Amino acid sequence: MRHGQTNYNLQGLCSDDPTKPVFLTDEGLRQAQEGAEKLRDTPIEKIYTSQLPRTQQTAEAVNRYHNVPIEARAEINDIRTGYDSRPIDEYMQAIAHDPLHASPENGESQIQHKDRIVAFIHWLESQPLDHVLVVAHEETLRVFTAHFRGYPAEHLRQMSFANCEILEFEP
């Protein structure tokens, strides 16, 4: 599940620093509640989030119906752009010459991010749980989708997911 809308989403800003107070907007809270309603009768044993507050807020909304442990994991933090709090357009221009491999200063490449997320997926598959919810970011969901559907890395930039969109995968 992708997190709900934030003020940075509205402003078109990069947000990959877990210490920055980027929270859900009123619309994001509404989206999270809508997502919670959709998942109300879905069995969930545990919820994993990134360390960014917006994923944790979204998970808390869903957890009102499940009362399961929530665990924040650094491995599923959003891609480190090196452009935190700066316009997404600036970041996109900086990696345009090689979107998969370009690694801005203090950032990571799409491939490095993919490898980090795939390592989390492998770890998650080793856990003794059948039904988990992962609340994360669009970039993270791109990797999950590519991994489980067998898409090549070149497809990562071609996918988009709405705030609080729910995807379901089976190992």
Full DSSP string of 77-145: SPP--S-TTSBHHHHHHHHTTSTTT---TT---HHHHHHHHHHHHHHHHTSS-S-EEEEB-HHHHHHHH
- What pLDDT is attached to residue 58? 98
| CATH architecture of the domain covering 7-158 | 3-Layer(aba) Sandwich (3.40)
Encode the chain (171 residues) as per-residue pLDDT tens digits. Answer: 999 999 999 999 999 999 998 999 999 999 999 999 999 999 999 999 999 999 999 999 999 999 999 999 999 999 999 999 999 999 999 999 999 999 999 999 999 999 999 999 999 999 999 999 999 999 999 999 999 999 999 999 889 999 999 999 987
- What pLDDT is attached to residue 77? 97
- What pLDDT is attached to residue 103? 95
Sequence spans of domains, the chain = 7-158
Asked if 101 and 42 count as a contact pair (C-beta separation under 8 A), the reply is no
- What pLDDT is attached to residue 157? 87
Express the helix, strand and coil content of the chain in percent, nearest 5 each. 45, 10, 45
